[in-house]
């Protein structure tokens, strides 16, 4: 039982470290993924990739708007505020 708890704690710490490196909250698109989607021409994407991008972008926007800034990492909060401002114009 102790080993299972240790493994679970290690996985939890690993996920936290991974999120910190990506500087994105759980379940959100990281900056690298967003940048890759922007620079890759639509003509070189499959229909499946285009649909996946639309869906994941929509989910990301919903999470941006539904999750209070107080519940986000500082980096995610800054990105979301900038995104909201960009979408106002």
Q: How many CA atoms, within 13 angstroms, populate the side-chain half-sphere of residue 39? A: 6
Residue 48 is part of which domain span?
2-88
What tens digit of pLDDT does each residue of 9-38 get?
555 555 554 544 446 788 888 888 889 999
Choose between 46 and 13: higher pLDDT. Answer: 46
Burial of residue 23 (CB within 10 Å: 0-12, 13-18, 19+) is: middle
Q: Between these two residues, 10 and 81, which has the higher pLDDT value?
A: 81
Number of domains forming the structure of the chain: 1
**DSSP code of 41?**
-
Give 24 or 84, the one with higher predicted confidence: 84
């Amino acid at each position: 039982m102790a080993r299972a708890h240790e493994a679970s704690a290690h996985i939890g710490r690993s996920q936290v470290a991974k999120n910190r490196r990506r500087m994105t909250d759980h379940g959100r698109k990281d900056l690298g993924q967003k940048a890759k989607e922007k620079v890759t021409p639509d003509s070189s994407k499959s229909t499946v990739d285009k649909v996946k991008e639309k869906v994941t972008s929509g989910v990301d926007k919903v999470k941006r708007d539904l999750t209070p800034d107080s519940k986000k990492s500082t980096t995610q909060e800054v990105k979301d505020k900038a995104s909201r401002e960009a979408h106002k114009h």
